């Protein structure tokens, strides 16, 4: 039985036996080569489910919206499972609300090419799951540091690279909305009394949004790349996330989304933490 | 009006001429897409792609626009933003031009008009470019358009292979090309042949005629809960749309000087419908998703007498969740067409909680 057949069979069983109220997976999009998240609540709906390299959306992003319905089965590749860990750590969802159907992932494609985030993925298999659908995939060798070129630049040059990139931002917030970490009831950019961040697309407003968002990702972002893939303007949002994740790793030895019981890196204090910045 | 024929060189000379007396905008290659940018010569333009990333709407209704500047100590001395410069927008695809015709109805139609839009619109010449090979996201023919549609344009160009047939549609359009040679019968026949070919190549055959009637009684239909589930309520579809025209107004002040700026807004944001009282009538994500679909195919029909989707396909291309408005329409037609009046009583727009 192919992995897809197994997936459909298992989803159908879970719904028929009422073990879950919903299975979140993907189905083929109308355009060839695309897939869209699917939310199946009836056993016969499981026949359209797919999982392959078209399935880039991080499905963990939908949990805060549907968890009130009951126990949810989520199909999770490596990055989705790490986002689930982040949600568990941050108490946005409880373990018994989830049934995690793990799938190994060889990277998702964008316009026929391997997604940039997937090129440096170190966790292609789910880090937590209740059951695996299909086999695990081989762990890839460590990828070269994608920030190497960026970090060779002077601070002024780096600023210019970031400014050029975010100058295209149209503030549609697709990056925020597809992000499993962005579950705040009111985002800092949406408050208007006081108005923390300007609403225009001027460099200062765009940069403020992206830098603040990056800060909010520290110790939490699992580098799934959903934001970069979702950005209609092709902004390299992963550059911000990778840099922040790298700093958290260097300073606190922490990697986001691996161990549910560990507190989030920035919510924990250790006397050994480097804190020369307050000396 | 009679049609003219232009060689690529002649079009190039026209562009250079136009650039002397105003701004000329045309699709220019950016990364792996194209965007409208100011050009000074035709060589900078890339007329090969079907649609630009953002529609031509941003040249008439920019994302951020200073309306006036003020001083808090002299409230009577507000200064209106400077008059815009005349502009020619070259390479507008027929769907985008139809989108501008829809915007005209909202901002420059009968009765009240929008000063800032009107000023730009009055000084704009729209030079269209007929489509020949549709993208897999194109569906203009399903919403009353055509790959060679002329609506909203001053002039339509059709590339007949090294030469362009130029059809003036307004006096402004005619004035722009009147010194060129008249197109021969063979040129016009070639243009018509290309237009029929392009129309035949449009794969999309969805029929939206009954949709308005079905949507009129679909406010509380449970289908919205289901259809909206993949939607994450970002504003990508609304910002790339040629007809979306909602805006927010914000003041930026420093000490006693300030500017009143309007910026694009999106009905997908929960702030869009937030009341000062704290109540939000459209907090449920499904309700926001419903609003956009209803707006395109029902509300604007009531307001200005036509559907406000022009089939450009941008929302399909840019949706991070892969939502396809053609499929949404198909599924709506199916679900609503099958519903009896009794079954429509359940309000289930609260299937998802607000994010």
Q: Which of A199, A203, A213, A227 to mutate to test the interface with B (most CBs of B within 10 A)?
A: A199
**Residue of B33, B239, B326 lying closest to A170 (CB–CB):** B239
| Chain A interface, best mutation among B227, B249, B322, by max A CB count within 10 A | B322
Domain count for chain B, please give it.
2
What integer best gives the mean pLDDT of chain B?
Answer: 92
Pair (B193, B295) in one structural domain: no
B348 pLDDT higher than 80: no
Of the candidates B129, B139, B128, B130, which has an alpha carbon nearest to the alpha carbon of residue B201?
B139
Antiparallel, parallel or unpaired: β B87-92 and B124-129: parallel
Q: Which two tokens stand for residue B331?
A: 């599924």
- Would you say B91 and B127 are in contact if contact means Cβ atoms under 8 Å apart? yes
Among residues A145, A138, A110, A108, the alpha carbon closest in space to that of A123 is found at: A138
A137 near A251, Cβ under 8 Å?
no
List chain A residues with CB under 8 Å of B323: 36
Q: Which of B252, B285, B355 sits opposite A198 (nearest CB)?
A: B252
Residues B233 and B296 in one domain: yes
Q: Which residue among B53, B264, B321 places its CB closest to the CB of A37? A: B321
Residue that terminates a domain, selected from B201, B232, B251: B201
pLDDT given for residue B11 in this prediction? 96
User: For residue B297, is it within any domain?
Assistant: yes
DSSP B259: E
Query: According to the model, what pLDDT value does residue B224 have?
Result: 95
| Alpha helices (H) along chain B | 8-21, 94-107, 115-122, 171-177, 185-201, 211-215, 223-228, 236-240, 285-294, 300-304, 314-318, 325-338
Among B137, B222, B232, the strongest candidate for a mutation testing the A interface, having the largest count of A CBs within 10 A, is B232
One domain, residues B121 and B219: no
Other Cβ atoms closer than 10 A to A130 = 14
What is the share, in percent, of chain B residues with pLDDT greater than 90? 86
Q: How confident is the model at residue B20 (pLDDT cuts 50, 70, 90)?
A: very high
Say if residue B174 is in the same domain as residue B243. no
How far apart, in whole angstroms, are the C-alpha atoms of residue B66 and residue B350?
A: 38
Count the Cβ atoms, other than its own, within 10 Å of residue A143: 11
Helices (DSSP H) in chain A: which residue ranges?
Answer: 3-16, 63-66, 78-89, 116-119, 148-152, 155-166, 174-177, 203-216, 226-230, 237-252
pLDDT values of chain A reduced to their tens digit, one per residue, 279 residues: 999 999 999 999 999 999 999 999 999 999 989 999 999 999 999 999 999 999 999 999 999 999 999 999 999 999 999 999 999 999 999 999 999 999 999 999 998 899 999 999 999 999 999 999 999 999 999 999 999 999 999 999 999 999 999 999 999 999 999 999 999 999 999 988 888 899 999 999 999 999 999 999 999 999 999 999 999 999 999 999 999 999 999 988 999 999 999 888 888 888 888 777 776
> With an 8 Å Cβ cutoff, are B230 and A36 in contact?
yes
Q: Which domain holds residue B338?
A: 211-345
- For residues B282 and B228, the answer to whether their CB atoms sit within 8 Å is no
CB of B33 within 8 Å of a chain A CB? The answer is yes
Which residue of chain A is at minimal alpha-carbon distance from B318? A232
pLDDT at position B339: 53
Q: Are residues B14 and B149 in the same domain?
A: yes
Q: How many CB atoms lie within 10 A of CB A112?
A: 7
Position B346 confidence tier, pLDDT thresholds 50, 70, 90: very low
Which of B172, B201, B230 lies at the terminal end of a domain, its last residue? B201
Position B340 scores a pLDDT of 41
pTM for the full predicted model? 0.94
The answer to whether residue B139 sits within a structural domain is yes
∠B298-B300-B306 over CA atoms, to 5°? Answer: 90
Give a yes or no: residue B315 inside a domain: yes
Nearest residue, CB atoms, B250 vs list A65, A176, A199: A199
Are B33 and A234 within 8 A, CB to CB?
A: yes
Cα distance between residue B287 and residue B281, in whole Å = 9
Instruction: Give the whole-angstrom CA distance, residue A128 versus residue B129.
Output: 54
Are A72 and A66 a contacting pair, CB within 8 Å? yes
Cα separation, A163 vs A106, whole angstroms:
33
Cβ contact B321–A64 (<8 Å): no
Q: Is B240 in contact with B219 (CB distance < 8 Å)?
A: no
Are the CB atoms for A166 and A207 separated by under 8 Å? yes
Planar angle of CA B37, B41, B42, nearest 5 degrees: 85
Q: In this structure, is residue B352 part of a structural domain?
A: no
A209 touches A197 (CB < 8 A): yes
Answer whether residue B273 shows pLDDT above 90: yes
Contact A31 B318 (CB under 8 A): no
B89-132 pLDDT, tens digit per residue, is 999 999 999 999 999 999 998 878 999 999 999 999 999 999 99
- Residue in B closest to A183 by C-alpha: B355
Condensed to tens digits (0 to 9), the pLDDT of residues B219-233 reads: 999 999 999 999 999
Mutate to test the interface with B, among A21, A108, A233 (most CBs of B within 10 A): A233
**Taking CB atoms and an 8 Å limit, are A170 and B63 in contact across chains?**
yes
- Outline where B22-142 has alpha helix (H): 94-107, 115-122
* Cβ neighbours for A8, distance < 8 A, ≥ 6 positions apart: A46, A47, A49
Q: Is B246 on the interface with A (CB under 8 A)?
A: no
In this complex, do B229 and A30 lie within 8 Å of one another by their Cβ atoms? Answer: no
* 3-state DSSP assignment of residue B167: strand
> In degrees rounded to 5, what are phi and psi of residue A50?
-135, 155
Tell how far CA B195 is from the center of its chain.
22
Could you report how far apart the first and last alpha carbons of chain A are, in Å? 61
> CB within 8 A of A165, min separation 6: which ones?
A235, A236, A239
Q: How far apart are CA A209 and CA B6, in angstroms?
A: 47
Q: Which residues of B touch A38 (CB under 8 A)?
A: 230
d(CA A132, CA A251): 34
Question: How many C-beta neighbours within 10 Å does residue B5 have?
Answer: 19
Query: Which of A36, A190, A200 is opposite residue B263, by nearest beta carbon?
Result: A200
CB A83 within 8 A of CB A129: no
**In this complex, which of B33, B236, B355 lies closest to A65 when CB atoms are compared?**
B355
In a domain, B354, yes or no: no
Q: Specify whether the CB–CB gap between A242 and B62 falls below 8 A.
A: no
Cβ separation of B234 and A190 shorter than 8 Å? Answer: no
Residues of A in contact with B63 (CB under 8 A): 170, 200-201
Same structural domain, B188 and B305: no
Burial grade of A194 (CB within 10 A; 0-12, 13-18, 19 or more): exposed
- The answer, yes or no, to whether the previous bond of A129 is cis (omega within 30 of 0) is no
In 3D space, the residue among A172, A240, A239 whose CA is nearest the CA of residue A212 turns out to be: A240
Structural domain ending residue among the three candidates B150, B171, B201: B201
Nearest CA in chain B to A57: B321
Q: Can you give the pLDDT at residue B210?
A: 84
The answer to whether B283 faces chain A, any CB pair under 8 Å, is: no
Where in chain A are the domains?
A: 8-132, 148-270
Q: Which two tokens stand for residue B84?
A: 């815009």
Q: Do B235 and A64 touch (CB under 8 A)?
A: no
Compare CB distances from A232 to B32, B240, B264 and report the shortest one's residue.
B240
* In-domain check, residue B156: yes
Is the predicted pLDDT of residue B206 greater than 80, yes or no?
Answer: no
Q: Pick the closest to residue B293 from B241, B346, B354, B347 (CA basis).
A: B241
Give the span between the Cα atoms of A12 and B9, in whole angstroms: 64
Contact B352 A65 (CB under 8 A): yes
Indicate yes or no: CB of A233 within 8 angstroms of CB of B53: yes
């Amino acid at each position: 039985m192919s992995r897809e057949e197994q997936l459909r069979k298992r989803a159908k069983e879970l719904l028929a036996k009422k073990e879950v109220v919903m299975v979140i997976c993907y189905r083929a999009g109308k355009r060839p080569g695309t897939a869209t998240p699917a939310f199946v609540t009836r056993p016969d709906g499981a026949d359209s489910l797919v999982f392959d390299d078209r399935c880039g959306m991080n499905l963990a992003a939908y949990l805060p919206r549907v968890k009130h319905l009951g126990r949810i089965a989520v199909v999770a590749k490596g990055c989705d499972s790490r986002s689930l860990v982040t949600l568990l750590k941050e108490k946005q969802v409880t373990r018994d609300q989830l049934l995690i159907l793990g799938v190994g992932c060889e990277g998702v494609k964008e316009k026929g090419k391997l997604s940039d985030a997937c090129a440096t993925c170190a966790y292609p298999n789910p880090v937590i799951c209740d059951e695996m659908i299909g086999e695990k995939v081989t762990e890839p060798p460590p990828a070269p540091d994608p920030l190497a070129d960026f970090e060779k630049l002077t601070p002024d040059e780096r600023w210019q690279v970031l400014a050029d990139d975010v100058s295209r931002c149209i503030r549609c917030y697709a990056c925020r909305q597809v992000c499993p970490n962005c579950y705040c009831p009111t985002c800092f950019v949406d408050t208007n009394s006081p108005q923390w961040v300007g609403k225009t697309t001027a460099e200062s407003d765009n940069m403020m949004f992206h830098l603040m968002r990056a800060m909010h990702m520290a110790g939490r972002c699992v580098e799934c790349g959903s934001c970069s893939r979702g950005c209609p303007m092709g902004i390299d949002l992963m550059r911000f996330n990778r840099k922040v994740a790298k700093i958290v790793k260097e300073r606190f030895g922490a990697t986001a989304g691996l161990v549910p019981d560990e507190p989030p890196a920035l919510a924990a204090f250790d006397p050994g933490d480097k804190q020369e910045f307050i000396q | 009006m009679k049609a003219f024929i232009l060689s690529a060189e002649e079009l190039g000379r026209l562009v250079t001429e136009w650039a002397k007396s105003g701004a000329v905008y045309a699709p220019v290659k950016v990364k792996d897409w194209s965007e409208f940018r100011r050009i000074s010569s035709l060589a900078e333009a890339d007329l090969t792609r079907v649609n630009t990333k953002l529609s031509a709407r941003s040249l008439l209704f920019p994302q951020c626009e200073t309306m006036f500047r003020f001083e808090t100590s002299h409230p009577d001395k507000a200064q209106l933003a400077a008059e815009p410069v005349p502009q020619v927008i070259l390479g507008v695809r027929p769907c985008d031009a139809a989108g501008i015709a829809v915007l005209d109805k909202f901002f420059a139609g009968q009765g009240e008009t929008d000063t800032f839009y009107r000023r730009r619109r009055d000084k704009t010449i729209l030079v269209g470019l007929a489509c020949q090979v549709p993208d897999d996201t194109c569906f203009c023919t399903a919403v009353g358009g055509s790959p060679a549609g002329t609506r909203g344009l001053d002039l339509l160009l059709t590339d007949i292979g090294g030469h362009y047939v130029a059809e003036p549609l307004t006096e402004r359009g005619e004035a722009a090309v009147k010194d060129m040679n008249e197109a021969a019968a063979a040129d016009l026949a070639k243009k018509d042949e290309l237009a029929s070919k392009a129309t035949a190549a449009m794969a999309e055959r969805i029929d939206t005629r009954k949709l308005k009637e079905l949507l009129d009684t679909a406010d509380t239909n449970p289908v919205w809960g289901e259809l909206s589930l993949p939607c994450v309520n970002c504003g990508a579809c609304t910002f790339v749309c040629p007809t979306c025209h909602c805006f927010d107004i914000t003041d930026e002040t420093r000490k006693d000087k300030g500017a009143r700026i309007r910026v694009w807004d999106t009905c997908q944001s929960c702030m869009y419908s937030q009341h000062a009282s704290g109540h939000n009538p459209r907090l449920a994500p499904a309700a926001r998703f419903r609003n956009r679909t209803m707006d395109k195919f029902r509300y604007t029909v009531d307001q200005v007498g036509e559907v406000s989707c022009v089939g450009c396909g941008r929302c399909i291309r840019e949706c991070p969740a892969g939502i396809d408005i053609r499929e949404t329409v198909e599924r709506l037609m199916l679900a609503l067409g099958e519903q009896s009046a009794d079954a429509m009583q359940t309000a289930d727009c609260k299937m998802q909680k607000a994010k």
